[in-house]
């Protein structure tokens, strides 16, 4: 794949952080001094947002507003980014090779920009990226291509030579529909692996398979 620009998702694509997002409710509840009930995370996933926040308020934090609960959970995640976050294997190798080849790189994430800044700095890779785009900049999530189009405009590289690096099926589907090439990294938290593999231009189990990504 000829690459002049690269647009990277962050969580699950560069950082081994999807598990922390999936267990964020547990982190919040423990921060209040409670033990986690059996099947708690499954319940939170099944309820979805915002009903899971209402459940937390009713059962664990009646003194807090829903907004305060949400802010406290984001602070829990920021603390994780600041103290615990780790890179996925071989990420540094890939980024260094792309930099050596003069590839322009930026971030397009569903995570708030300020949180991304903390996470990327902790992981030691913030210097590779010229800008961070998050979905708040467009008011649309990754079911829409706006964030990727904004990132492409910033990079100023041809779309056909600017792959999006992603792990989530819904985002990959959006990128492909918008005409972007996609490099997909396997994420154990993404259940639709067969669909991801079928849709992506390149699918890797880890960035150790760099020869599949950079072929020219």
What residues have CB less than 8 Å from 195, skipping those under 6 apart? 169
Higher-confidence position of 214 and 117: 117
Tens digits of per-residue pLDDT, 111-143?
A: 999 999 999 999 999 999 999 999 988 889 999
pLDDT digits (tens, 9 = 90+) for 68-87: 999 999 999 999 999 999 99
- What confidence category does residue 173 fall into, taking pLDDT thresholds of 50, 70 and 90? very high
Distance, CA of 18 to CA of 24 (rounded, Å): 10
Between 41 and 176, whose confidence is greater? 176
What pTM did the predictor assign?
A: 0.93
- What average pLDDT does the structure give for the chain? 94
Q: Where are the domains of the chain?
A: 5-17+86-213, 19-83
Name the CATH superfamily, with its identifier, for domain 5-17+86-213.
HAD superfamily/HAD-like (3.40.50.1000)
Q: So what's the pLDDT on residue 18? A: 92
CA separation for the pair 29, 44 (Å, rounded): 12
Alpha helix positions (H), the chain:
18-22, 24-31, 40-47, 51-59, 66-83, 91-100, 113-123, 146-155, 169-177, 193-199, 210-213
């Amino acid at each position: 794949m000829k690459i002049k620009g690269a647009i990277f998702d962050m969580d699950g694509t560069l950082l081994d952080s999807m598990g922390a997002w999936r267990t964020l409710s547990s982190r919040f509840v423990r921060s209040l001094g409670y033990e986690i009930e059996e099947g708690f995370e499954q319940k939170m996933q099944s309820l979805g947002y915002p009903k899971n926040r209402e459940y937390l308020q009713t059962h664990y934090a009646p003194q807090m507003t829903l907004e305060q609960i949400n802010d406290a959970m984001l602070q829990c995640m920021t603390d994780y980014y600041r103290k615990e976050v780790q890179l996925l294997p071989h990420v540094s190798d890939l980024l260094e090779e792309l930099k050596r080849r003069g590839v322009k790189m930026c971030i397009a994430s569903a995570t708030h920009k300020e949180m991304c800044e903390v996470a990327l700095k902790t992981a030691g890779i913030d210097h590779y990226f010229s800008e961070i785009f998050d979905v708040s900049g467009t008011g649309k999530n990754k079911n829409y291509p706006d964030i990727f189009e904004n990132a492409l405009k910033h990079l100023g590289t041809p779309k056909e030579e600017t792959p999006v690096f992603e792990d989530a099926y819904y985002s990959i589907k959006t990128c492909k529909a918008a005409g972007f090439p996609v490099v997909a990294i396997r994420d154990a938290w993404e259940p639709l692996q067969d669909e991801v593999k079928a849709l992506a231009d390149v699918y890797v189990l880890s960035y150790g398979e760099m020869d599949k990504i950079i072929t020219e």
